[in-house]
Copies of this chain bind each other. A is one copy, B any other.
Amino acid sequence: MPLAIDFLQTGSMADSTSKDRQEITFSSVPKAVVSRLSLYLRELQQLLGEGKQTVRSGELGKRLGFTDAQVRKDLTYFGQFGYPGIGYRSEELVQAIRHILGTDIEWRVVIVGIGNLGKALLGYKGFASQGFQIVAALDNDPKKMGTKLEGVKIHPITELKKVVRQHRARLGMVAVPAVAAQDVVDQLVDAGIDGIVNFAPVTINLPNHVSQVGVDLASELEQITFAVAKRLQMHNEA
């Protein structure tokens, strides 16, 4: 049985016994639960758009392919949100999840590398609606300097530190070729960024105080081929 291996390492509760314990500390929430919070949030926002002010765990789960027990269990990490005989109040749960995810405040983001992927990220509608404001773009192609894409100005990477500080950006998305990724990441860290999403297909090294998520597009396909291969295996055994 796989257990603690999935847990976000955010320190031990034992250190804060004498402190105020009213505030929830999410010291051991599995990454998969955090991923599902994003899915619940998106679905609740869609429900609100459909005018549904309340939703039961069974309905929320069904729309996402999860059981009602799983929805309840995931949310239990963070508190009590359901009302007997009613279910969840959509707007209230949206606000609660945004608070848990830290997206009830706006995050200022820079994108480094304005090739096709960088352009796609600049044009992606899903960021602004979730509280992420792209404040600047950086590239090293002289032809792109000073131009704007999707209303965002493109700066030379040599000015990265200045641009990050001027715009008070806290997150960076890295969409440069693999060979350039670590150098760009080092510059972002030096500029004081809090977190990095790395799209380059390479492992990057970061100090402990900077969070990272790596998006490996081939890995997404491998999740599927694994599932398909397993299905075929079962089929052959049947």
| A-to-B contact residues, CB < 8 Å | 1-3, 5-6, 8, 10-11, 15-16, 19, 23, 25-26, 30-35, 37-39, 41-43, 46, 63-64, 66, 70, 73-74, 100-103, 107, 109, 115-117, 119-127, 129-130, 132, 170-171, 173, 178, 194-197, 201-203, 209, 211-213, 215-231, 233-234, 237-238
Contact = CB atoms under 8 A, between A and B. Distances in A.
Nearest to A150: B116
Given A115-B120, A127-B217, A203-B64, A101 B170 contact: no
Contact of A222 (B26, B103, B119, B217): B103
A213 B220 contact: yes
Contact of A132 (B2, B25, B38, B218): B218
**Number of copies of this kind of chain in the complex:** 2
A173 B40 CA distance: 23
Instruction: Tell which of A33, A39, A130 has the most Cβ of chain B within 10 Å.
Output: A130
B126 A217 contact: yes
Contacts of A63: 203
A180 to B, nearest CB: 13
B127 A221 contact: yes
Given A64-B203, A123-B116, A222 B34 contact: yes
Contact of A120 (B35, B66, B117): B117
Contacts of A126: 201, 216-218
A127 B8 CA distance: 29
B229 A223 contact: no
Contact of A197 (B5, B19, B201, B220): B220
Contacts of A117: 117, 120, 123-124
Contact of A35 (B202, B219, B230, B233): B219
